[in-house]
Structure 1
Amino acid sequence: MAFLNYRTEGKTGVIAISRPPANALSTEVLQELADLLTAAERDPNVRVLVIHGEGRFFSAGADIKEFTSVRTGSQFSEMSRRGQELFERMERFPKPIIAAIHGAALGGGLELAMACHIRVVSETAKLGLPELQLGIIPGFAGTQRLPKYVGAERALVMMLTSEPISGKEAAERGLAAFCFPEEKLLEETMKLAKKIEKKSPRSIKAVIELANFAKTGQFYEGMKKEAELFGQIAETGDAKEGIQAFLEKREPNFTGE
């Protein structure tokens, strides 16, 4: 694979995002992830998955350059729905998926992490949904999952200000299960995976299935609405300005158009 490296350690499959410098989630990266999920689900020797980023980041978000080639709101909505479907597949995956997060997990990177069953973070990691800085909104169910973990008010603050929280705060607020110094992050994550992989695969699958019953119908309605609004907002002048400003590395000038 071009952007994901895969190896196994015992009964744990380890997926490393390797797309420097920011491990941006392009269409190709997401397709490779979908293919690896299919292979891991079929492999009886794999009982747990760990996802981490190589280099400086977990993932700094979606590949914004791809947005410039999308022309219509309906195409943006379809992009949103495809990402939502992949991440929903992850959340319902019959084998536990653990995200080991260091550096930045922003935008789509955090949405990917929130679709994992468990998050382990480094103390200095930065987690956030900064899409409003680009004049757009989260599109991979971030508006629905973040409030579930940190509460509605804190989620609104994070999204409306585009400011991330630290790994330490993420653990304190329930967005992550464990927090470690960065140099111990992957080692401690693998220890956790090793504990889980000893359990009965059927019992693991049942627990994950039952945990997903905690979702309400409103969650799925919210996902549909998110994809719809993502497409509408992506067509606005502010979205075009925000994306162009990001690519030009300057502050955007939003006018409300």
Structure 2
Amino acid sequence: MPITSQTDGSGVAVVTIDYPPVNAFPTKGWFDLADAVRNAGRDQRNRVVVVRAENRGFCAGVDIKEIQRNPGHQSLIDANRGCAEVFSAVYDCQVPVVTAVNGFCLGGGIGIVGNSDIVVASDDATFGLPEVDRGALGAATHLARLVPQHLMRALFFTARTITAQELQHHGSVFKVVPRSELDDAAMEVAADIAAKDGRVIRAAKEALNGIDLQNVHRSYRYEQGFTFELNLSGAADEIRERFEDDLARQRAAGGTH
């Protein structure tokens, strides 16, 4: 199963992403992840949720090939709604969400991480929004929760990535560890939370969301409106086609996976 959830009765639920090789999400995957996070949070036995991933990176974002395969705009609409569902599920989860980030965290992965409560990352983790290079917009809302405003703009406009160590400097990544220690580090933080009274933890999560300065739901949906505009204009299709052509040339030259 690409999205699995398990708990051992300790108050920690672990949700795992597994879309090999790079965790590029098909449309259904976003909704499945949203359901898994929501269900874990509703379970009164759980006091914290850990979201982790198998494979080479935490998340490569939307499966662009799925969108390109299907004519019309329905796949894009479904993918955008799916992303909004996941980001909301993480933010609104009734208990704190700890994300354990390995390797690359791109596109929709930034939405997951930016809306989570605590981020633990491996020392090879990188974070970025390649949206501008893909003819889309979105998740600047969540990148802005990880870095200061002007750095967010620089990263967004250039589509550059930032390392886990740099994010730790800005205070948005709680801990950076060797990749082999990532799961243990995330579970250690989760265990600290799970040891608290669940009634207090659930109240604290709701209270902290209530004093947040930004409405992340409305902000992200506003961004998505410009993604639809770029698609309706034809610009996004042209850019995605060039991206696919570039990838094909790189593969032929042996320059990418």
Pairing of 1:239-250 with structure 2 (within 5 A):
239-248=236-245, 249=247
Pairing of 1:117-196 with structure 2 (within 5 A):
117-138=117-138, 142-196=139-193
Aligned counterpart, 2:4:
5
Paired residue for 1:198, among 195, 198, 202?
Answer: 195
How many residues were matched structurally? 246
1:60 aligns with 2:60: yes
* Cα deviation digits, residues 58-115 of structure 1 (max 9, x gap): 111111122222624x874564244224312321211111100010100111211212
**Higher alpha-carbon deviation: 98-107 or 9-18:** 9-18
Cα–Cα, structure 1 residues 25 and 14, in superposed 2: closer, same or farther, change >3 Å?
Answer: same
Computed over aligned residues only, the root mean square deviation of the Cα atoms, in angstroms, reads 2.1
Secondary structure of 1:149's counterpart equals: coil
**Higher alpha-carbon deviation: 103-112 or 242-251:** 242-251
Using structure 2 for the length normalisation, give the TM-score.
0.87
Shift in Å, 1:247: 2.8
Q: Distance in 1 between matches of 2:75 and 2:54?
A: 31
Cα–Cα, structure 1 residues 178 and 55, in superposed 2: closer, same or farther, change >3 Å?
Answer: same
Give the letter aligned to residue 145 of structure 1: H
Secondary structure of 2:24's counterpart equals: coil
Shift in Å, 1:192: 0.7
Q: Contact 1:34–1:86 (CA<8 Å) still a contact in 2? A: yes
Shift in Å, 1:50: 0.8
Give the letter aligned to residue 121 of structure 1: A
**Higher alpha-carbon deviation: 174-183 or 210-219:** 210-219
* Cα deviation digits, residues 188-241 of structure 1 (max 9, x gap): 111111111011111111111111123346655433321211110123333112
Shift in Å, 1:30: 1.5
Structure 2, unaligned runs of 5 or more: 250-257
Cα–Cα, structure 1 residues 78 and 225, in superposed 2: closer, same or farther, change >3 Å?
Answer: farther
Secondary structure of 1:148's counterpart equals: coil
Secondary structure of 2:25's counterpart equals: coil
Q: Contact 2:106–2:129 (CA<8 Å) still a contact in 1? A: yes
**Higher alpha-carbon deviation: 75-84 or 241-250:** 75-84
Cα–Cα, structure 1 residues 37 and 238, in superposed 2: closer, same or farther, change >3 Å?
Answer: same
* Cα deviation digits, residues 149-193 of structure 1 (max 9, x gap): 311100011111111111111111233121112121111111111
Aligned counterpart, 1:22:
22
Secondary structure of 2:44's counterpart equals: coil
Secondary structure of 2:62's counterpart equals: coil
Cα–Cα, structure 1 residues 218 and 59, in superposed 2: closer, same or farther, change >3 Å?
Answer: closer
Cα–Cα, structure 1 residues 237 and 108, in superposed 2: closer, same or farther, change >3 Å?
Answer: same
1:71 aligns with 2:72: yes
Q: Contact 2:30–2:79 (CA<8 Å) still a contact in 1? A: no
Q: Contact 1:102–1:124 (CA<8 Å) still a contact in 2? A: yes
1:100 aligns with 2:64: no
* Cα deviation digits, residues 26-61 of structure 1 (max 9, x gap): 222112212323432343322211111102111111
Secondary structure of 1:98's counterpart equals: strand
Using structure 1 for the length normalisation, give the TM-score.
0.87
Q: Percent identity?
A: 27
Give the letter aligned to residue 89 of structure 1: A
